[in-house]
Amino acid sequence: MKPRDLMLALAVVIAWGVNFVVIEVGLEDFPPLLFSALRFFLAAVPAIFLVGRPQVAWRYVVGVGLALGVAKFGLLFVAMDRGVPAGLSSLVLQSQVIFTVLFAIVVLRERPRVTQAAGITIACAGMLLIMLDRGLSAPLGALALVIAAGACWGVSNTITRHAKPQDTLRFMVWVSAVAVVPLLLLSLIVEGPRADVDALRSIDLTGVGALGYLAFVATLFGFGVWGYLLRQYDASTVAPFSLLVPVVGMGAAWLLRGEAIGVQQAVAAVLIIGGMACTVIRRLTPRPAEPGERILTGSVGR
């Protein structure tokens, strides 16, 4: 990878890692579903007039918009609002790797490699260790919402892989646009009009900054650069960088929010990240595929 592209990859990792701390800060000013809706509104509405129509079928745009924009981010924001810390969220959300591989096996009929099966087992052990951590400050139900968000991310990854968008930034802009109205309706139903209006009336510079970061840095810059890198290099070269996202997320939460990392959580983090690393290990000399067989490539989300 060229030095400039290496720096871009690291910049995306940092942007996505710090993103979890910014979400936590923004949730102090906004109800979670409204916060998510406003994030996608800022990311999508101005940009759709500049990027043109998506270059894939609308059913893929709608499918990813609902799975990623509404379900994944909605569940994640609600879970963090209910007490899951930023660093822990950045780690547990990477369960999406497990779900992505499993959905690809079931839906796309792809065959996992031995290293991927081993990686899933190791990562699941880490998740179990997190769930059994009695010293965990997060409510168990809220933690389950983060895992559910990971499952929804796995669904969106499967749809995206099937759609194969050529322009990731354009695709993400339209996906964001799809998410706005459902999230606003859910916010009105679940959080109530009064809470939404009060949040908008009392918005301050901190809230504006959090929205701006999520919309322009984490969404447009992050996904735009990531798509550029995937067009320039093999997925096996780019994907492992996202393994650093929970490392940055946990580090940023410790540095900026004082989030403690216990021994059991540290061991769980090593297991989860190590398991995810196994899913992107590729054979140096790939064996020939059997007729009609598809070999599952590593997919690490962000």
Give 70's Cβ-side CA count (13 Å radius): 18
What pLDDT does 280 receive?
62
149 has a pLDDT exceeding 90:
yes
At 275 the pLDDT is: 76
CA 26, CA 57: separation in Å to the nearest integer?
34
Nearest to 158 by CA among 224, 83, 103: 103
| 95-114 residue pLDDT tens | 887 787 788 777 767 676 77
How far, in Å, CA of 88 to CA of 65, rounded? Answer: 25
Long-range CB pairs of 241-245, under 8 A, 24+ apart, other chains included:
241/9, 241/10, 241/12, 241/13, 242/13, 242/16, 242/300, 242/301, 242/302, 243/273, 243/276, 243/277, 243/280, 243/300, 244/10, 244/13, 244/17, 245/13, 245/16, 245/17, 245/90, 245/94, 245/302
pLDDT tens for each residue of 67-89? 999 999 999 999 999 988 888 88
Distance CA(125)–CA(15), nearest Å, equals 28
The percent of residues above 90 in pLDDT, for the chain, comes to 37
pLDDT given at position 269: 75
186 or 140: whose pLDDT is higher? 186
Q: How far apart are the first and last CA of the chain?
A: 20
205 sits in which H/E element: helix 205-212
To the nearest whole percent, how much of the chain has pLDDT over 70?
Answer: 86
Element (H, E) at 110: strand 110-111
pLDDT of 35-66, one tens digit each? 999 999 999 988 888 888 888 999 999 999 99
- Kindly tell me if the per-residue pLDDT of 163 is higher than 60: yes
| CA gap 19, 29 in Å, rounded | 16
The pLDDT of residue 241 is above 80? no
Residue-wise pLDDT tens digits, 269-281: 788 778 777 766 6
pLDDT band at 293 (very low <50, low <70, confident <90, very high): very low
Distance CA 234, CA 169 (A): 18
Average the pLDDT over each of 28-32, 47-51, 122-126 and give the range with the smallest value: 122-126
pLDDT at 119: 77
Q: What are residue 105's phi and psi, to 5 degrees?
A: -70, -45
What confidence tens digit (pLDDT) does each residue in 185-201 have? Answer: 999 999 999 999 999 99
- Does residue 249 surpass a pLDDT of 90? no
Q: How far is CA 190 from CA 73, 155, 179, in A?
A: 15, 24, 16
Which of residues 302 and 25 earns the better pLDDT score? 25
